[in-house]
Amino acid sequence: MENYRVFQGKDTRQVDGHTGKAALKDSWYYEPSDYEGDVLYSVAYASREAAYEAAEEEFGAEGVGSS
């Protein structure tokens, strides 16, 4: 079972919890695989690799990516 997922901002309707603004379309985010919130779990990352590294640091090496 995957611990987290990585996705691009253009693939979500979630919003930034501090600003209420939509996810940045070209940025990358991560969240626990069972997270179903309306607010983004992570901060924005400039690259998919950076988001994966941050997620692996928090959750361990097992994850699933989309896009």
- State the CB neighbour count (10 A cutoff) for residue 31: 20
| pLDDT computed for residue 67 by the predictor | 44
Give me the pLDDT at residue 45, please.
Answer: 98
pLDDT (tens digit, 9 = 90+) per residue, 6-65? Answer: 999 999 999 999 999 999 999 999 999 999 999 999 999 999 999 999 999 999 876 665
**What pLDDT, on a 0 to 100 scale, did the predictor assign at position 64?**
60
Residue 11: what pLDDT? 97
How many Cα atoms within 13 Å fall on the side-chain side of residue 46?
A: 0
Structure confidence at residue 16 (pLDDT):
96
Q: What is the CA radius of gyration of the chain?
A: 11
